[in-house]
Amino acid sequence: MKQVERFAYLGSIDKHWIDHIDHLDGLREGVRLRAYGQRDPLVEFKNEAFGLFEGLLDRIDAELARRIFRVGVMRQPRPEIPLAQATTNVDTLDQTGLMDTPTPELGAERGTPAFAGSPSPITNHQSPATNSSEGRKKIGRNDPCPCG
């Protein structure tokens, strides 16, 4: 819900801020003529610009309320699983298709392996760690790049 509020708030600010900038440009042109009426144009601009800014905040709040109350949350229906896939328990399978924890077979004796018929545990066969910096001269911080 926070993302919806943020999206609505930023959208209404974007929309009304552009209009506000256009209004300020028009105000600047109008205030210039007030200097002929013996009024300080800077004071006139400040007073009217503040009024326009308050109007901007009111319009943003009204637009935000309108957008928030018109938001509708739609739930997507759960996809139906075909019968062929429904026989396997998807929750117990990881991405490779192997079970997370193999279950012992019923009737397993003490002398037999606990997990007969289950896939063998995956062993990590890695070559000895080779550091990429072995056999190379250390590069100083101000040396040119060795790659070219």
Q: Has this prediction a pTM greater than 0.75?
A: no
Instruction: Spell out the domain ranges in the chain.
Output: 2-69
Amino acid at site 25: D
Note the pLDDT of residue 53. Answer: 95
Confidence band of 22 (pLDDT split at 50, 70, 90) = very high
Mean pLDDT throughout 46-56?
A: 94
| Helix (H) or strand (E) run with residue 64 in it | helix 41-70
Distance, in Å, from the CA atom of 82 to the CA atom of 86, rounded to the nearest integer, reads: 6
Class of domain 2-69: mainly alpha
Confidence band of 142 (pLDDT split at 50, 70, 90) = confident
53, 97, 121 from 86: Cα distances, Å: 60, 15, 27
pLDDT in tens, 63-107: 988 888 887 777 777 777 777 666 665 555 555 555 555 555 554
Confidence band of 133 (pLDDT split at 50, 70, 90) = low
Collapsing DSSP states into helix, strand and coil, what is residue 76?
coil
